[in-house]
Amino acid sequence: MKKLPLKKGSKGPEVEALQKLLNSAFAESLKVDGDFGRKTATAVDKAWLQLGHTNKASQGVTREFLLLLPAALGYKLPPELDSLLEESPLDVAQLALWEVYQTAKVKPEWKKRVDAERDEILTFRERYAEVQRATGVPWQLVGIIHQLEADGWWSKHLHNGDPLSSRTKQVPRGRPKAPPANGKTYTWMESAIDAVRYDGLDKIPWTAYKEGSEEWISIALDAMERYNGLGYRSKGKPSPYLWSGSTAYVKGKYVADNKYSPSAVSQQTGAALVLRSLLSI
């Protein structure tokens, strides 16, 4: 049974081991009773802060929390907590995306397009890597989103393809919030960093997963689908943002904000296809 995250209401030997650890490593004075209550939750929030993550409070004990502790504390996790890391970090939706990724094939007529987009992203890999160095978001995702949102144009916002000459007009409207650094027009880099941070892609602990692993790919697919929006998922339909050009997608597309056409067919190359091609290099 999945036990992460440990949070208010959790019970068992894992919580008891956590309470002992918080008492010894963070000078807490918790009752070691295996019951994750209010005081344990407060102690975990304080531990997140001491680990340097001010935005993680209230998440409870996640996989990332357990991965951070050994380096911060200088010793191994107790077995009860270490065993939790053997769990899959993926949720049901991410596992479903992995299943599709394994079985979906590129349609023959789309292969050249997939290869062309892969090659263009590789040509500008260093520019995308600059965004990764600033935010932690893998360069592959930055490049793929650049193709999907802006057709690879360097004069357009990564958020939605609006011109860099002003803040975005389409959803998300009014980004970036900060004025252009040069006082005139936004640079592509300013926009790209704002875009991935606005969507929370920088909050994902990418370095906790091996690049190209089941976990990394599943989380990457989920992140890119969320970047575009979960309208297709809510309808139980495959998102063309991920699967267009593959055997997993036939038709159905949002032709405008909140306007879904069951007969429209996407002409964009799905993110999953380009990601697989990039990872095969």
Q: What pLDDT shows up at residue 2?
A: 63
Average pLDDT, integer, range 239-262: 96
Average pLDDT, integer, range 202-218: 91
Region at 2 (left for phi over 0; alpha for psi -120 to 50; beta for the rest): beta
11 has a pLDDT exceeding 60: yes
Q: What pLDDT shows up at residue 241?
A: 98
211 has a pLDDT exceeding 90: yes
Beta 253-256 vs 259-261: how paired, if at all? Answer: antiparallel
Residue 200 to residue 197: CA distance in whole angstroms: 5
Q: Is the backbone peptide bond immediately before 78 cis, with ω within 30 degrees of 0?
A: no
* % the chain with pLDDT above 90: 77
Q: What pLDDT shows up at residue 144?
A: 98
Average pLDDT, integer, range 58-62: 84
Q: Are 255 and 112 in contact (CB under 8 A)?
A: no
Q: Are 215 and 90 in contact (CB under 8 A)?
A: yes
Q: What pLDDT shows up at residue 4?
A: 80
Number of DSSP helices (H) and strands (E) in the chain, helices first: 13, 2
pTM: 0.72
Residue 142 to residue 196: CA distance in whole angstroms: 8
Helices 13-25, 38-50: inter-axial angle, 10-degree rounding: 50
Tell me the per-residue pLDDT of 153-184, one tens digit each, with 9 for 90 and over: 999 999 999 999 999 999 999 999 999 999 99
Q: What pLDDT shows up at residue 124?
A: 98
Residue 253 to residue 262: CA distance in whole angstroms: 6
Q: What pLDDT shows up at residue 59?
A: 80
Residue 223's pLDDT band (cuts 50, 70, 90): very high
Question: Residue 208 corresponds to which tokens in the numbers above?
Answer: 């906790």
More confident residue, 257 or 249: 249
Q: Are 273 and 241 in contact (CB under 8 A)?
A: no
Average pLDDT, integer, range 215-241: 95
Question: Residue 86 corresponds to which tokens in the numbers above?
Answer: 């053997």
Residue 114 to residue 192: CA distance in whole angstroms: 23
Q: Are 169 and 162 in contact (CB under 8 A)?
A: yes
More confident residue, 65 or 73: 65
- Interior angle at CA 230, CA 228 and CA 234, nearest 5: 155
1 has a pLDDT exceeding 70: no
The three-state DSSP-derived secondary structure of 121-133 is HHHCHHHHHHHHH
Q: What pLDDT shows up at residue 251?
A: 97
210 has a pLDDT exceeding 80: yes
Residue 52's pLDDT band (cuts 50, 70, 90): confident
Closest CA to 59 of 2, 136, 6: 6
Tell me the per-residue pLDDT of 76-106, one tens digit each, with 9 for 90 and over: 899 999 988 887 778 778 988 998 999 999 9
- Interior angle at CA 260, CA 259 and CA 261, nearest 5: 125
Q: 35 - beta bridge partners? A: 11
Q: What pLDDT shows up at residue 111?
A: 98
Q: Where are the alpha helices (DSSP H) in the chain?
A: 13-25, 38-50, 63-73, 79-82, 92-103, 111-123, 125-135, 139-150, 188-198, 214-228, 231-235, 240-243, 271-279
56 has a pLDDT exceeding 80: no
